[in-house]
Amino acid sequence: MAKVKTSFFCQNCGTQYAKWLGQCKACNEWNTIVEEVIQKEEKRNWKQASAVKKTNKALKINDIVLDEEDRISTRNKELDRVLGGGLVKGSMTLLGGEPGIGKSTLLLQIALVIPKKVLYVSGEESQSQIKMRAERLQTKNTNCLILTETNTQHIFKVIEEVQPEVLVIDSIQTLHTEYIEASPGSISQIRETTAELIKFAKETATPVLLIGHITKDGNIAGPKILEHMVDVVLQFEGDRNHTYRILRANKNRFGSTAELGIYEMQNIGLREVENPSEILISQKEDDLSGTAIAATLEGMRPLMIEVQALVSTAVYGTPQRSATGYDLKRLNMLLAVLEKRAGFRLGAKDVFLNIAGGIKVDDPAIDLAVISAILSSNEDEAIPQDFCFAAEIGLAGEIRAINRIEQRILEAEKLGFNKIFVSKFNKISSKPYAIRIVQVAKVEDIYANLFA
């Protein structure tokens, strides 16, 4: 019997060692090294039967011609936006997200609408389960082939037969290659199967979409190098109790990572949300204290987001602070600014902050809405529903200018807001706006404007 060969791998960076170590010498992480069964590496090719020897020629950059067809539209506007205009030929895209968030649904939906021959390989569900899901989605593509297989050599055999134009793999953690004995989902299997798929994608210019599981701390399961190997890393996120899902690019070799795709999970699949501002502002009849609307930008797209704050008297010694969808450190900073510059005694109060819709925002222009919501809750006085805010707050309590102010003003105007509060330091063109623009310089000014 052949001797079983094992080796040690760092789960963080993928470095291989002959023996176990407590700390990885390459990335200095502790306790990341695990033992895995491997076999001696052999020479191999994804296309074993007819292994072609092809060498790439070096070309002058001016001689490289870009093909119009280098991007394939997925017929899904939100995904196209996040990808930067569609799937790039020969690219590898990794889609990560929590279980049950809708990864399989999203990619099956794409497979059913994209006007290309798609091979959807699933290692997680049976063909009839996928068919049942497809029935729910009510879209038809007779060019979509479903394969249930986990062995990459078998998958490549089928690929040679059917010659797909797009390949979908659900999921990378279920795949295994015959050349390695480690179990599916292990570091060496993920690394090898991904490398085989990349080779296939680059040699045939076929875009490959991979689904990846994530660990409980939100990272894609497997070696970190997986994310380095692929061209695009997408993250599908959202609160499982909400129906809204957000698609973000964490890495994109062919586009910006600032763009955002928004979907709603319905019983007939994922609906693209084209006008997100409408859904992010909760519907209510009366004016309620503690809410303020921020005019933010995610990538190129304006988003009106509702900020909710609750300020109450602290019952325990140390006041509680909690923030959902907003950086807690930044909230503490804003509270300190309010305390110091405007004399609000928030030290004895609990402050809870929530961004409606389960969305996480990075745009600093949300700051002014955050402090307005806090002040409104503290005063127990509502801010009129047709007011909105767009400015950053500095440590000195100054209200700072933000980028692309006009785009935000136009969006607020379009959605029927009557007043927008912005920084005094933002230069605004004298174009006549229907919306009233109030320019403020200090935190005290906003208080005086809203509640005095």
Residue stretches of the annotated binding site for ATP:
97-104
Nearest approach, Cβ of 213 to Mg ion (angstroms)?
A: 9
Whose Cβ is closer to ligand TYD: residue 159's or residue 270's? 270
- The contacts of residue 418 (CB under 8 Å, 6+ apart) are 384, 386, 387, 435, 436
Q: Would you call 62 exposed, middle or buried from its count of C-beta atoms within 10 A (0-12, 13-18, 19+)? A: exposed
The Cα 114–Cα 240 span in angstroms is 27
Query: Which residue type does 2 have?
Result: A
Q: Could you tell me how many residues of this chain bind ligand TYD (CB under 6 A)?
A: 14
Interacting stretch for ligand TYD, rule CB under 6 A, among 46-54, 267-275, 327-335, 436-444? Answer: 267-275
In this chain, which of 99, 317, 343, 432 binds ligand TYD, going by CB under 6 A?
A: 99
- Burial class from Cβ neighbours inside 10 Å (0-12, 13-18, 19+) for residue 164 reads buried
Q: Per the structure block, which two tokens stand in for 201?
A: 């994608």
Cβ-based burial of 139 (10 A; exposed 0-12, middle 13-18, buried ≥19): middle
For residue 109, state whether it binds Mg ion (rule: CB under 5 A).
no
Smallest separation, CB 124 to Mg ion (Å) = 5
**Residue 101 binds what, of ligand TYD, Mg ion, none (CB under 5 to 8 Å, by partner type)?**
ligand TYD
Name the one range near Mg ion by CB under 5 A: 76-84, 102-110, 150-158, 189-197.
Answer: 102-110
Residue 102 binds which of ligand TYD, Mg ion, none (CB < 5-8 A, kind-dependent): ligand TYD
- State the binding partner of 436 from ligand TYD, Mg ion, none, CB within 5 to 8 A by kind: none
**What phi, psi does 312 have (nearest 5°)?**
-140, 165
Q: Of the listed pieces 103-111, 255-263, 303-311, 378-386, which binds Mg ion according to CB under 5 A?
A: 103-111
SS3 assignment, position 34: strand
Smallest distance, ligand TYD to C-beta of residue 104, A: 3
Nearest-10 Cα torsion for 54, 55, 60, 61: 60
**Contact window for ligand TYD (CB under 6 A) among 103-111, 112-120, 300-308, 402-410:** 103-111
Span from 65-73, 96-104, 221-229, 373-381 in contact with ligand TYD (CB under 6 A):
96-104
Pick the closest to residue 357 from 254, 280, 257 (CA basis): 280
* Choice between 33 and 211, CB closer to Mg ion: 211
Among residues 25, 136, 329, 340, the one that binds ligand TYD under rule CB under 6 A: 136
Name the nearest CA neighbour of 237 among 224, 250, 223: 250
CB atoms within 10 A of CB 365: 24
Tell whether residue 265 is a contact of ligand TYD (CB under 6 A). yes
CA dist., res. 209 & res. 170, Å (int): 9
Whose CB is nearest to Mg ion? 104
Residue 63, CB half-sphere, CA atoms under 13 Å: how many?
4
Task: Examine residue 268 and tell whether it contacts ligand TYD (CB under 6 A).
Answer: yes
- Asked whether the beta carbons of 391 and 399 are under 8 A apart, the reply is yes
Which one among 91, 93, 105, 188 touches ligand TYD, defined by CB under 6 A?
Answer: 105
Nearest to 225 by CA among 6, 41, 15, 22: 15
Nearer to ligand TYD, 267 or 430 (CB): 267
Query: In the complex, what is the shortest distance from the CB of residue 127 to ligand TYD, in angstroms, rounded to a whole number?
Result: 15
**CB of 41 or CB of 135, closer to ligand TYD:** 135
Interface mask (CB under 6 A) for ligand TYD, residues 414-433, using x and -?
--------------------
Q: Among residues 308, 305, 377, 365, which one has the least CA distance to residue 338?
A: 377
Q: What backbone phi and psi angles, to 5 degrees, belong to 264?
A: -120, 130
Interatomic CA distance for residues 235 and 249, integer angstroms? 6
* Residue from 100, 317, 343, 432 binding ligand TYD (CB under 6 A): 100
Residue 102 as a binder of ligand TYD (CB under 6 A): the answer is yes
Q: Which is nearer to ligand TYD, 15 or 139 (CB)?
A: 139
3-state secondary structure of 339: helix
Q: Among residues 56, 142, 267, 429, which is the contact residue for ligand TYD, using CB under 6 A?
A: 267
Nearer to ligand TYD (CB atom), residue 5 or residue 136: 136
Find the shortest distance in angstroms from Cβ 267 to ligand TYD.
Answer: 5
Query: Is residue 104 near Mg ion by the rule CB under 5 A?
Result: yes
- Contact between residue 192 and residue 226 where contact means Cβ atoms under 8 Å apart: no
Among residues 14, 86, 97, 357, the one that binds ligand TYD under rule CB under 6 A: 97
The least distance separating Mg ion from the CB of residue 100, rounded to whole angstroms, comes to: 8
Separation CA 242–CA 17 (nearest Å): 45
Binding site for Mg ion (CB under 5 A): 104
Binding site for ligand TYD (CB under 6 A): 97, 99-105, 133, 136, 265, 267-269
